Copies of this chain bind each other. A is one copy, B any other.
Amino acid sequence: MSRKGPTLEDVARQAGVSRATVSRVVNGIRNVDPDIQELVRHTIEQTGYRPNRAARSLVTQRTETVALIISGAGDAYTSRVFADPFFGRVVSGVVGYLRSHAMHPVLLVAESDAAREQVVEYLSQGTADGALVVSIQAADPLPEMLTAARIPVVLFARPEHPHTVSHVDLAHAEGARLAAEHLLARGCRQIATISAPQSIPAARDRLDGFRAALASAGVVDVPVVEGNFTLDSGAAAMAELLSDHPDVDGVFAANDLMAQGACQFLRERGKRIPQDVAVIGFDDSSVAVTCRPPLTTVRQPVEKMAVAMARLLSEHIQGMHTEPVSVLFDAELVVRESA
């Protein structure tokens, strides 16, 4: 432990002032005589003094750290979640906001009930000022648990019980409507969709929105096959769709990866995209660009949403909101080649 350097006390003594004064210039609080400021700064420079975070936290009750929690279902998925570019985009946005506000994210994973308990326990020790929760599970108890422990929380995605905790979300139904209208405008006559587990609110909204938009254009009979967000499930769903409805000419998938799977299957069957079958994805993730053909997709501004989430949490920590707040983002159709 030879790592410890000079303390406030040391600087104060060497500069011939009190600890309080050094503290003041370090934190830029209250007026301090410019000459003394200069002297203190110089002494700090010279001694290589660095304020000790733990000591400061002990008295301020603040850590300038927030938890970024991946809360989800089961170990199996947990190992994959980090491979999901979606998560990377969230991290990117969060880090971007935090670092410019002198805060830092600590990464936590809560994939089981036991893990959730641990996370709450950990945060109850005052390790972080608040929590950002990215939940990949339908009815996640974690947000409520954190709120109960009086830890400021902001969620990515809508919680089961709205208005109970702050969150940022996308207008999923609206995004799905854009996809439906685009397919309609292209002249597609037999439109189908590859949905995702309906226990997830976002997936539900996408399907409902898609159906509603078609219905209001008079299209009522829309084949649906449910996938699970993976490439393979998309391909399998497409296979089922194609065998049940050989004349399908327009497909909307609930995410890009499934859309890519659908594209791969269609091509193997000799279908041209978009001439024979138009395909639209959701998210505008990296696969939308690398897919052949590049995917027309509903863009979810994940980074922006992540930034908003971080800002919201920061505001909560500062006590700017007494009530939960939610921010809704618009979806946007990105037209590439697949539709």
Contacts and interface: CB of A to CB of B under 8 A. Distances in A.
Interface of A: 1-5, 50-55, 57-58, 61, 63, 65, 68, 79, 81-85, 87-89, 91-92, 95-96, 99, 104-109, 121-122, 124-127, 150-151, 231, 257, 260, 264, 267, 286-287, 289-290, 292, 303
Given A106-B65, A264-B292, A125 B91 contact: no
Contacts of A51: 125
Contact of A107 (B54, B91, B303): B91
Contacts of A92: 79, 81-83
A104 B121 CA distance: 13
Q: How many copies does the complex hold?
A: 2
14 contacts: A52-B125, A54-B54, A55-B58, A79-B92, A82-B88, A82-B89, A87-B88, A99-B109, A104-B127, A105-B106, A106-B106, A231-B289, A257-B290, A287-B290
B125 A61 contact: no
B107 A104 contact: yes
The 3 closest A-B pairs by CB, nearest first: A82-B88, A54-B57, A82-B92
- Listed residue (A2, A88, A96) with the most chain B CB atoms within 10 angstroms of its CB: A88
Nearest to A70: B95
A228 to B, nearest CB: 15
A83 B85 contact: yes
A68 to B, nearest CB: 8
Nearest to A87: B88
Contacts of A63: 54
A100 to B, nearest CB: 11
A50 B88 contact: no
Contacts of A106: 65, 104-107
Contacts of A260: 290
Contacts of A287: 290
A122 to B, nearest CB: 7
A124 B51 CA distance: 9
A81 to B, nearest CB: 8
A109 B122 CA distance: 24
A88 B91 CA distance: 10
Contact of A88 (B88, B99, B109, B122): B88
A108 B231 CA distance: 32
Question: Which residue among A4, A84, A104, A150 has the maximum number of chain B CB atoms within 10 Å of its CB?
Answer: A104
B104 A105 contact: no
Nearest to A264: B292
Contact of A50 (B4, B99, B125): B125
Nearest to A261: B290
A50 B292 contact: no
Given A82-B91, A83-B88, A91-B82, A50 B121 contact: yes
B126 A231 contact: no
Nearest to A80: B92
Nearest to A63: B54
Contact of A3 (B53, B61, B84): B61
